Amino acid sequence: MDWRAWHDAYENPDSGLAQRLVLVREQIRAALGRLPPGPVKAVSMCAGQGHDLIGALTGHERRGDVTARLVELDEHNVLLAHHAAQDAGLNGVQVVTGDASLTDAYVGAVPADLVLVCGVFGNISTEDIQRTITALPQLCAADATVIWTRHRLPPDITPTIQRWFAEQGFDELAYEVDQSALLAVGAQRFTGAPATLREGERLFDFIGYDALQPAEPTAD
């Protein structure tokens, strides 16, 4: 997969990715509005070119409060995200080349007040989605917001994802779908106790949407 070319769809406002991006940015801004004054820590899994967090922070009144780590494996996308953050004056945004599936990628950046899991759940197995959600208390500070995305093509497992979040101590703040109703954006507030980060653990294997969709089993 050419992940640089994959991002081109963001330039088309009628694409599902562009519509999803609008919803994700809205939820990021809403999360910032709920947080008390003071420093804000954020992490982003499989951050790509950083369109979601960088775009939401650009011009935002709390942009100076935010320190963030964006984790992305594709070096070219890392470079583009780094330049975008610098151009926007977001000196607190760090973009690193790394494997977002490994807990080691978040050492020193968690517990975070805002955790982005966008563009992940549609590219990993159902079992790995559950494993990742189960591990999220390791990344979250008290009252943190997790923002996630997932397609709603059959079998639509977003209700199962919502249940898994609830089982791990998350309250749902929002569940929105794009204009086509095929992409969902969720926001969850962590109400449990933050867990210590366990280094050296793998959360998921990034298989890719194209390989998963034809054979993904029906979830309960």
pLDDT in tens, the chain (220 residues): 555 555 555 666 667 788 999 999 999 999 999 999 999 999 999 999 999 999 999 999 999 999 999 999 999 999 999 999 999 999 999 999 999 999 999 999 999 999 999 999 999 999 999 999 999 999 999 999 999 999 999 999 999 999 999 999 999 999 999 988 899 999 999 999 999 999 999 999 999 877 776 544 433 3
Q: What pLDDT does 205 receive?
A: 96
**Residue 9, pLDDT score:** 56
Contact in structure between 5 and 76 (CB atoms under 8 Å): no
pTM for the model stands at: 0.92
CA distances from 74 to 48, 99, 211 (A): 7, 9, 19
Residue 10 lies in a domain: no
**Residue 94 placed within a domain:** yes
Question: Is residue 217 domain-resident?
Answer: no
- Is residue 98 situated within a structural domain? yes
Give pLDDT, residue 210: 72
Give the chain's domain count. 1
β 93-97/66-72 pair status: parallel
Q: Tokens standing for 43? A: 């992490």
Residue 183: which CATH number?
A: 3.40.50.150
Q: Is residue 11 part of a domain?
A: no
CB 135 within 8 A of CB 201: yes
* 59 lies in some domain: yes
Structural domain containing residue 114: 16-212
What pLDDT is stored for residue 170 in this prediction?
Answer: 98
**Pairing verdict, β 140-151 and 112-117:** parallel
- Looking up tokens 């999360």 gives 31
Instruction: Tell me if 64 is assigned to some domain.
Output: yes
Look at residue 76 and tell me if it is in a domain: yes
Q: Residue 219: its pLDDT value, please? A: 38
